[in-house]
């Protein structure tokens, strides 16, 4: 079973593009995007770049605090804050995640395993 939240939808479609569904029991896409780049309608609905403009800054003094605030907001209550620190001390370039140009309609059309799609802002009941 592959489960992807947010950008995880792109990770899943990357996997499926390379390996197919032979070893996959099912998929769950939770508020996930499967396309990114200009001209991809689904990517525009995701709004990741618009939601995190400061996090995409080339200036580490701007991007660092913005990414920290985003991750803190995503962290489950009770999770130690140190779990989100970069242990290597290197600066992560968030913009590289959004520099891609990927369409996945062909990959998704070939999915032949049970799939759950939960739109953003919804939780399964």
Question: pLDDT (tens digit, 9 = 90+) per residue, 63-99?
Answer: 778 777 766 666 555 555 544 444 444 444 556 666 7
Maximal C-alpha separation, the chain:
46
Distances (CA, A) of 116 to 7, 35, 93: 16, 17, 31
- Higher pLDDT: 92 or 105? It is 105
pLDDT of residue 49: 47
What pTM was estimated for this model as a whole? 0.63
Q: Report the 10 Å Cβ neighbour count for 22.
A: 7
- Higher pLDDT: 52 or 6? It is 6
- Higher pLDDT: 31 or 111? It is 111
Model confidence at 2: pLDDT above 90: yes
**Domain map (residue ranges) of the chain:** 1-46+100-125, 53-93
Read off the pLDDT of residues 35-70 as tens digits, 9 standing for 90 and up: 887 776 654 444 444 445 676 677 888 877 877 776
Specify whether the CB–CB gap between 29 and 118 falls below 8 A: yes
Q: Quick one: tokens of 62?
A: 């701007």
Model confidence at 107: pLDDT above 90: yes
Stretch (H or E) spanning 108: helix 105-109
Strands (E), 9-123: 27-30, 115-118
- Higher pLDDT: 6 or 88? It is 6
Read off the pLDDT of residues 27-36 as tens digits, 9 standing for 90 and up: 999 888 898 8
Sign of the torsion angle spanned by Cα atoms 13, 18, 87, 63: negative
């Amino acid at each position: 079973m592959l489960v992807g939240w947010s950008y995880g939808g792109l990770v899943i479609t990357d996997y499926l593009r390379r390996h197919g569904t032979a070893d996959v029991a099912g998929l769950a896409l939770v508020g996930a995007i499967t396309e990114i780049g200009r001209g991809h309608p689904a990517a525009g609905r995701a709004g990741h770049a618009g939601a995190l403009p400061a996090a995409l800054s080339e200036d580490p003094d701007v991007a660092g605090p913005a990414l920290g605030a985003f991750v803190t907001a995503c962290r489950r209550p009770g999770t130690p804050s140190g779990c989100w620190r970069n242990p290597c001390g290197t600066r992560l370039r968030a913009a590289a995640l959004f520099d891609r140009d990927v369409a996945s309609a062909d990959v998704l059309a070939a999915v032949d395993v049970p799939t759950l799609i939960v739109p953003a802002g919804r939780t399964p009941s």
